[in-house]
């Protein structure tokens, strides 16, 4: 399989090399296990010319001049901050988007990593398709390309020869999917385990930090949301909520829904899960106590809500994100000198 990775000025070099190195290791696994007699993946880094590309951070990347003799093209992301001028950044990549448009017209499969999805959008490749990108930029992607159906919590979305993925390390997930498609489960599993790559990630929901998402609310929603958080552990009572803001229940639902795009109850449920995530990350409180602290009486109901919103169980979330300062099965091995108390400034 011939794969071209599209390098361009300002791209993230690690996304190129994470992807290409995992395929390199898969080639070795396939040959060592007798699945293939020669390398199944032929990977090239390509650019608009054979001159070195300057990646984000000022690192030069050698590339060959691009051509269309590939089965699949992969587009890495680029350095981007939420406050950056996206129009200016993308206007400098018009040659790349034209190349992608022509490649798709030839029937080449195309994939992006992280905000590489914006290049696909500029090339009109997301129109009428489902797609994803980093959770931090999914709302921008949806606003900029309204004909796309953005799945902000998905890790990988494949739709009619166009594949988009979540942020940065999703380059490894994309490579794993391609390995599994072309070489089977055994090679994909062996490659993942040799390299300590997660095999079955399906959602970026556990990684979302809602406080970093762009605000979408007016002042009314801000005030109501603050009141709901202050009364997080209380039973939800729409009548009480409306009375606190001197409006009818109907007006509360209408105004809140118009500004927030959700109901007060939906907001409260997300706030409760967000609070539970913080407690799971930073305390050793038992789940039953956390459930009560965030306003639930039935642990089973909360567990179902947590999985629905986060994509993993509360227990799995704690194992994944709780910093174990006492040591244990998931803590790094330490020598005697490292066993001294951790300085307070370095605590989680």
Exposure string for 81-112, b = 16+ CB within 10 A, e = fewer = eeeeebeeebeebeebbebbeebbeeebbbbb
Whole-number pLDDT of residue 210: 73
Alpha helices in the chain (DSSP H): 13-32, 86-91, 94-105, 117-122, 138-144, 170-183, 185-195, 219-230, 238-244, 249-260, 264-282, 287-293, 299-310, 314-321
- The residues near 13 (Cβ < 8 Å, ≥ 6 apart) are 55, 56, 57, 59, 61
The CA distance from 237 to 118, in Å, is: 42
Residue 222 has pLDDT above 60, yes or no: yes
The CA distance from 244 to 267, in Å, is: 17
| DSSP character at residue 233 | T
CATH 1.10.10.60 placement within the chain? 215-321
CATH 3.40.50.880 placement within the chain? 2-207
Long-range contacts of 154-158 (CB under 8 A, 24+ apart): 154/202, 154/203, 154/204, 155/201, 155/202, 155/203, 155/204, 156/132, 156/202, 157/130, 157/131, 157/132
Model confidence pLDDT, tens digit, residues 30-42: 999 999 999 999 9
- Per-residue pLDDT band at 215 (split at 50, 70, 90): low
> Nearest CA to 290 among 318, 268, 312?
318
* Span 2-207 CATH architecture: 3-Layer(aba) Sandwich (3.40)
Give me 73's structure tokens: 């093209």
Homologous superfamily (CATH) of 215-321 is Homeodomain-like (1.10.10.60)
Backbone angles phi, psi at 150, to 5 degrees: -85, 125
Residue 190 has pLDDT above 60, yes or no: yes
Helix or strand run (H / E) with residue 2? strand 2-6
Residue 348 has pLDDT above 50, yes or no: no
Model confidence pLDDT, tens digit, residues 308-343: 888 889 999 998 888 654 444 444 444 444 333 333
The CA distance from 69 to 261, in Å, is: 46
> Is 178 in contact with 72 (CB distance < 8 Å)?
yes
Give me 178's structure tokens: 């391609």
């Amino acid at each position: 399989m011939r794969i071209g990775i599209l390098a361009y000025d300002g791209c993230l070099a690690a996304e190129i090399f994470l992807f290409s190195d995992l395929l390199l290791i898969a080639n070795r696994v396939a040959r060592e296990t007798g699945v293939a007699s020669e390398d199944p993946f032929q990977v090239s880094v390509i650019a608009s010319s054979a001159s070195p590309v300057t990646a984000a951070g000022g690192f030069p990347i050698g590339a060959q001049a691009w051509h269309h003799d590939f089965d699949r093209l992969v587009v890495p992301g680029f350095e981007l901050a939420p406050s950056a001028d996206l129009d200016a950044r993308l206007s400098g990549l018009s040659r790349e988007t034209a190349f992608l448009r022509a490649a798709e017209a030839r029937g080449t499969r195309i994939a992006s990593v992280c905000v590489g999805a914006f290049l696909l959008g500029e090339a009109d490749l997301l129109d009428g398709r489902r797609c994803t990108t980093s959770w931090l930029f999914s709302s921008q992607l949806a606003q900029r390309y309204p004909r796309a159906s953005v799945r902000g919590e998905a890790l990988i979305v494949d739709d009619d020869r166009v594949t988009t993925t979540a942020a940065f390390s999703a380059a490894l997930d994309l490579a794993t999917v391609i390995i599994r498609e072309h070489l089977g489960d055994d090679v994909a599993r062996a490659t993942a385990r040799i390299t300590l790559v997660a095999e079955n990630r399906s959602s970026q929901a556990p990684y979302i930090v809602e406080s970093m998402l762009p605000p979408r609310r007016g002042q009314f929603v801000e005030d109501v949301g603050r009141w709901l958080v202050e009364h997080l552990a209380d039973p939800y009572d729409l009548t009480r909520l409306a009375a606190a803001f001197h409006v009818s229940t109907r007006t509360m639902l209408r105004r809140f829904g118009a500004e927030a795009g959700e109901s007060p109850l939906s907001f409260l449920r997300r706030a409760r899960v967000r609070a539970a995530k913080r407690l799971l990350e930073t305390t050793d409180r038992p789940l039953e106590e956390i459930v009560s602290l965030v306003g639930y009486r039935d642990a089973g109901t909360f567990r179902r809500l947590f999985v629905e919103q986060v994509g993993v169980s509360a227990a799995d979330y704690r194992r994944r994100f709780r910093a174990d300062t006492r040591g244990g099965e998931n803590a790094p091995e330490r020598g005697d000198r490292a066993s001294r108390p951790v300085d307070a400034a370095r605590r989680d």
